Amino acid sequence: MNLSFFDQFASPQLLGIPLILLSLLFPVLLFPAPGGRWITNRLSTLQLWFLQLITKQLMTPLNKPGHKWALILSSLMIFLLLVNLLGLLPYTFTPTTQLSMNMALAFPLWLATILTGLRNQPSISLGHLLPEGTPTPLIPALILIETTSLFIRPLALGVRLTANLTAGHLLIQLISTATMALLPIMPTISILTASILLLLTILEVAVAMIQAYVFVLLLSLYLQENI
């Protein structure tokens, strides 16, 4: 019984072929195809307004060179948002519950921000490892601590997204299982549990959106330090 709770996080397969790639490509189908009414389409107008809002929020703290990252950060935000929300639908798979995938997104982008800083302003980027005015005996220890915290950043990005989504999915499955189990013997308690499940589902929708925003926001803050 306990193992079945974690079966939802296993990558689905068809004839031995993993379907995670299909899950990742499915959000693309939600975008309208170019046509005669592409610009005046209400859905396209809403998507453009939402994209502009996201880009403005992410790019405001960055200077002009950082605006080159607008396309990749906005695309990543929309991708994570759609994947997280689609994963809340019944009989679906959430790719962002896989730590390997989140690390594959976090590590290259984090490394790109570090390399950007080392290429454009190496002295300032390396200066983050040693705060100004540090006593001489503490210099080796502080450099070691700051270097460790720097390399932990991509791991924290991936683990945060994975843990929050995994915990939410497990809670939904546990409460829904309890609701169905209590329905024949204690209908009143079952209805109360179902109302809690509804509130939890609304909370998970908010968590799915917030975690996508936090993931991209932290990447933009790392970029801000290096440009």
pLDDT in tens, 139-175: 888 888 888 988 999 999 999 999 999 988 888 888 8
Q: Is 126 among the domain residues?
A: yes
**Encoded tokens for 107:** 């590590």
Q: Is 57 among the domain residues?
A: yes
Query: How long is the chain?
Result: 227
| pTM for this entry | 0.80
Q: Is 8 among the domain residues?
A: no
Could you tell me the residue range of the domain that residue 104 belongs to? 41-224
Give the long-range contacts of residues 25-30, CB within 8 A, separation 24 or more.
Answer: 26/86, 27/78, 27/79, 27/82, 27/83, 27/86, 30/82
What is the rounded average pLDDT of the residues 39-60? 79
Q: Is 141 among the domain residues?
A: yes
Q: For 106-119, how does the pLDDT look when each residue is reduced to its tens digit (9 = 90+)? A: 999 999 999 988 88
Locate the DSSP E strands across the chain. Answer: 13-14, 17-18
Count of the separate structural domains present in the chain: 1
Element (H, E) at 106: helix 99-120
Q: For 171-222, how does the pLDDT look when each residue is reduced to its tens digit (9 = 90+)? A: 888 888 888 888 888 888 889 999 999 999 999 999 999 999 999 999 998 8
Q: Is 56 among the domain residues?
A: yes
Q: Is 117 among the domain residues?
A: yes
Q: Is 27 among the domain residues?
A: no
Q: Is 121 among the domain residues?
A: yes
